[in-house]
Amino acid sequence: MSKDPGRVLIFDTTLRDGEQSPGASLNLEEKLAIAHQLARLGVDVIEAGFPFASPGDFKAVNRIAEVVGGENGPIICGLARASKNDIKTCYESLCPAPRKRIHTFIATSDIHLKHKLKKTRKDVLSIVPEMVNYAKSFLDDVEFSCEDASRSDPDFLYEIIELAISAGATTINIPDTVGFSTPNEFGELIDNINKNVSNIDEAVLSVHGHNDLGLAVANFLESVKYGARQLECTINGIGERAGNASLEELVMALHVRRGFFNKFFGRNQDSPTPLTAIRTEEITKTSRLVSNLTGMNVQPNKAIVGANAFAHESGIHQDGVLKNRLTYEIIDAKTIGLSDNKISLGKLSGRSAVRARLEEMGYDLSREDLNEAFARFKELADRKREITDRDLEAIVSEQVQLPESKFQLKLVQVSCGNNSKPTATVTLLDTEELTEETAVSLGTGPVDAVCEALNSLANVPNELIEFSVKSVTEGIDALGEVTIRIRNKGKIYSGHSADTDVVVAAANAYVNALNRLVFSEKKNSLHPQFDGINKSIRRSSKSNK
């Protein structure tokens, strides 16, 4: 049996695999805000990125390693393909973290070897020990993944895993890269790895999976029964294509059904000891932060964090819950930190009250950030009678989107109505060209007119593919949250903003999406999985070890 830490380790890959979701790219400040929140949530490992991808990705991992890890904090991990340059760059970016891990991988399925890597099994048999050994020359904590493991020949897989462990891998990760497996098959695969790899007791067995058939969480829970002790997952289940296994669903399944899972950990059925180290009360806040910053809305019926997950619509259910919550609720909303959105602040609240509330909510802002948050709070309080926690969250998450922005919206004004043509006037500051220009455009509606005017000024080709508005809280003066997604050269970029005026929110969200597009074009990141190592070693390290 593989090494057993006695509980499940939660490996969060929101900032790496999650950020690979179409339109979810994040800037440095946003990555830092999420990493800090993941540390508060209590994840064991943060996969902070793929440092070789671009100097921007290197810097983000490096900064997270510097400020988020800590002696008792999460392990900071970076992804590296099985190549010396990737591994060395990964180590260099992780360097400041007291607890760090290199996660290196190579595909093991014939389909990937033949069509993607153009390598033979023999090649892979020699690359794996060499690269794990190389990673090991930098640090002790080395994870090795067999990409597309669930579609690999099992005997070849066992051989590769054995070699990786002999070379020093301390965690072996089994990805269901294309979300092809079923729970039975995945559990059996983990069972067979435990039975057929002679040195498996020297490593922790980990699983990683995508949700193409909607089975990722079920696959993981089955694998736990057979000894998987690290789960690689993302907040809100974001990730490539249909996403990754969702952290909150896994954690809450292990929490609510502890009585069922305890026996697989050699515990008594009624043992109260948690199966993960996650502080469940931080789940809602983490989910909202990730959704706000990535612009990836959470579907209302999503388990645990969807807006309807704790709403009882039918009279029979409402009646039952009022008599006894347990009739229709298996989770107390407070367990995941879902408060009643109680009114906290108003127009007369001072700066220290705002700071205290933000601190209670887990936001530890610098002096300048607090000044800015307070100014935005005052501005909002002039228009909105009661400021709730959700409003404050919207203010803070908007603030972290601002750095690295080429365009800044200076003015937006619209005129529309049933007897007039919607007309928008916008002024846009270009912080690189140091120009400020104004345009006036007509549109089919006020938002269309605003987008037309912004496009005529920004001059960045794009196609608007999604526009959605929802209210942050209830009431006529609620903040309207707008998410916009635009496409350029097949890539999607999202923008998000909240304001009591939805047209202003739409304009800011559009500018935000344009900024991401411009930033991403400059960044020109390398994708870890769609590029053969031979072709893509174009950013080699300064010196060779």
Of Zn ion, ligand KIV, none, which one does residue 145 interact with (CB within 5 to 8 Å by kind)? Answer: ligand KIV
Least Å distance, CB 248 to Zn ion, is: 18
Of Zn ion, ligand KIV, none, which one does residue 105 interact with (CB within 5 to 8 Å by kind)? Answer: ligand KIV
78 binds ligand KIV (CB under 6 A): no
Q: Which is nearer to ligand KIV, 456 or 529 (CB)?
A: 529
Binders of Zn ion among residues 10 to 49 (CB under 5 A) are 17
* Euclidean distance between CA atoms 482 and 495, whole angstroms: 8
* Euclidean distance between CA atoms 40 and 22, whole angstroms: 27
Six token digits for residue 90: 């990964």
Q: Which is nearer to ligand KIV, 240 or 452 (CB)?
A: 240
3-state secondary structure of 181: coil
Least Å distance, CB 52 to ligand KIV, is: 13
Q: Of these, 36, 101, 208, 285, which contacts ligand KIV (CB under 6 A)?
A: 208
Of ligand KIV, Zn ion, none, which one does residue 147 interact with (CB within 5 to 8 Å by kind)? Answer: ligand KIV
The CA–CA distances, whole Å, from 495 to 96, 109, 291, 517 equal 32, 37, 11, 10
* Euclidean distance between CA atoms 334 and 282, whole angstroms: 10
Residues 6+ apart with CB under 8 A from 206: 9, 11, 143, 171, 172, 173, 174, 228, 229, 230, 231, 232
Q: Which is nearer to Zn ion, 2 or 173 (CB)?
A: 173
Q: Which is nearer to Zn ion, 17 or 162 (CB)?
A: 17
Give the per-residue contact string, 111-150, with ligand KIV (x = CB under 6 A; - = no).
Answer: ----------------------------------x-x---
The angle subtended at Cα 347 by Cα 346 and Cα 351, nearest 5°, is: 85
* Euclidean distance between CA atoms 462 and 445, whole angstroms: 19
Six token digits for residue 268: 């008594």
Residue 56 φ/ψ, nearest 5 degrees: -65, -40
Least Å distance, CB 245 to ligand KIV, is: 11
Least Å distance, CB 12 to Zn ion, is: 13
Q: Which is nearer to ligand KIV, 147 or 452 (CB)?
A: 147
Q: Look-up: residue for tokens 């009882």? A: 312
Q: Which is nearer to Zn ion, 212 or 430 (CB)?
A: 212
What's the distance, CA 299 to chain centroid?
A: 15
105 binds ligand KIV (CB under 6 A): yes
Residues that bind Zn ion (CB under 5 A): 17
Residues lying near ligand KIV in the complex (CB under 6 A) are found at 17, 105, 145, 147, 175, 177, 208, 210, 528-529
